[in-house]
Structure 1
Amino acid sequence: MRVDKLLWYVRLAATRSFAHDWALEGHMRLNGRRIERPSAAVRPGDVLVLPTRSGVKVIEVLSLPTRRGPAAEAQACYRVLEPGVEQFDEPSARTDA
């Protein structure tokens, strides 16, 4: 799925044209690489770093939406990651001493 379409579907952009222009600015990162075109392909498991007015938002794409549905449906397609904090799936992976 195109990154501009994904951002619009998951309601991180108010309009698709805004999402298109947002991607063209070149400040987004997809899996650590800079995005310079709105047609960049996004797949489940990808990590997007998005500049926002209030800072930086890091999200992991969990699934690709099929439509621009209600907010609850859109939010189920991604999870917000904390920038600079490692994410662990299993509690045993932590190294607390």
Structure 2
Amino acid sequence: MSEAGDKLRLDKWLWFARFFKTRSLSAARVAAGDVRVNAERVTKRATTIQPGDVLTFAIGRDVRIIEVVAIGTRRGPAPEAQTLYNDMSPEPAPRETPVPENPRFEGKGRPTKRVRRQGDLSRARHLE
């Protein structure tokens, strides 16, 4: 490949690799400074990347660490996009399930009339 073909804009590559649904979303995340290239924070959308670069960014609660393997030519299907990078992200921590406030009512349907009255009485005692 030629020298010009070995590099691609960061926002365009993130969109090619299907990390963001639209190119404007990927450009906004780069402009906000949420993406690091080789451990350096970048804010320019037109930052060029090449194979071997390591990208670090957050998606939701998870931090993604991605090594660029290839530069794509189009935004193809997901299996094609997965060949563009090597995912080096750590395994996400297991999510804890929230504990219900009322142990009798576990969020399964409506509370019975008896349970509702007991809740009302206990609140009334705390207000006195």
Same-fold call, TM > 0.5?
Answer: yes
| TM-score, structure 1 as length reference | 0.82
Conserved in 1, the CA contact under 8 Å of 2:57 and 2:64? yes
Aligned to 1:17: 24
Conserved in 1, the CA contact under 8 Å of 2:55 and 2:66? yes
Cα shift at 1:52: 1.2
Unaligned segments of structure 1, at least 5 residues:
84-97
Greater RCO between the two (CA within 8 Å, min separation 6)? 1
RMSD: 0.9
Cα shift at 1:20: 0.5
Aligned positions, number: 83
Conserved in 1, the CA contact under 8 Å of 2:67 and 2:87? yes
Cα shift at 1:72: 0.3
Aligned to 1:92: none
Is 2:77 the partner of 1:70?
yes
Unaligned segments of structure 2, at least 5 residues:
1-7, 91-128
| TM-score, structure 2 as length reference | 0.63
Higher helix share: 2
Q: Alignment partner for residue 56 of structure 2, among 19, 41, 49?
A: 49
Moved over 4 A (4+): none
Question: C-alpha distance in 1, partners of 2:74/2:82?
Answer: 13
Q: Percentage identity across aligned positions? A: 40
Tell me which amino acid in the other structure corresponds to 1:14: K
